[in-house]
Amino acid sequence: MATTITQDCINCGACEPECPNEAISQGSDVYLINAERCTECVGFHEKEACQAVCPVECCIPDPARTEPEGVLIERALALHPADADLRAAAASGNFPSRFRA
Ligand code: SF4
Ligand code: SF4
């Protein structure tokens, strides 16, 4: 399930640099998450980094796009093909994930 940003966003910009996948960008109205690049931080953090820094907590799971952990770690690997540490963590099954927090 990709994370999505609601209309409560106040455009502070705090989330954008925190995303390990460069999935966040400034939109015309509120900040946006590219669902094709969002792994819900699986592979990198135990919780969604955008939500962790958002002052109005408007980075929420998108109920219209539910995805299992396996899909999300595969996406992380595809987005970071040169990340040997991530690849080793994925192979061992021991990686940060909101599903395990
Ligand atoms: S949940 Fe993680 S990967 Fe998804 S947009 Fe937020 S910071 Fe990026
Ligand atoms: S941290 Fe929250 S309020 Fe700030 S730009 Fe990101 S989604 Fe919007």
Q: Identify the residue whose C-alpha is closest to ligand 1 atom 1.
A: 40
Contact predicate 6/39, CB 8 Å: no
pLDDT, tens digit (0-9, with 9 covering 90-100), for 40-83: 999 999 999 999 999 999 999 999 999 999 999 999 999 999 99
Task: Output the pTM of the full model.
Answer: 0.95
Nearest-angstrom CA–CA distance, 40 and 98: 7
In the chain, where are the structural domains located?
3-92
Quick one: pLDDT at residue 2?
87
Query: Cα(49) to centroid of ligand 2, in Å?
Result: 11
Dihedral sign from CA coordinates of 82, 90, 46, 26: positive
Ligand 1: does its nearest atom lie under 6 Å from the Cβ of 33? yes
Quick one: pLDDT at residue 1?
61
Would you tell me which CATH number, out of the four given (3.30.70.20, 3.40.190.10, 3.40.50.300, 3.30.420.40), belongs to the domain 3-92? Answer: 3.30.70.20
Query: What separation in angstroms does the CA of 62 have from each of 1, 3, 58, 87, 91?
Result: 6, 5, 11, 26, 27
Taking CB atoms and a 6 Å cutoff, what residues make up the pocket around ligand 2? 5, 9-15, 31, 53-56, 58-59
Which region, left, alpha or beta, applies to residue 13 given φ > 0 means left and ψ of -120 to 50 means alpha?
left
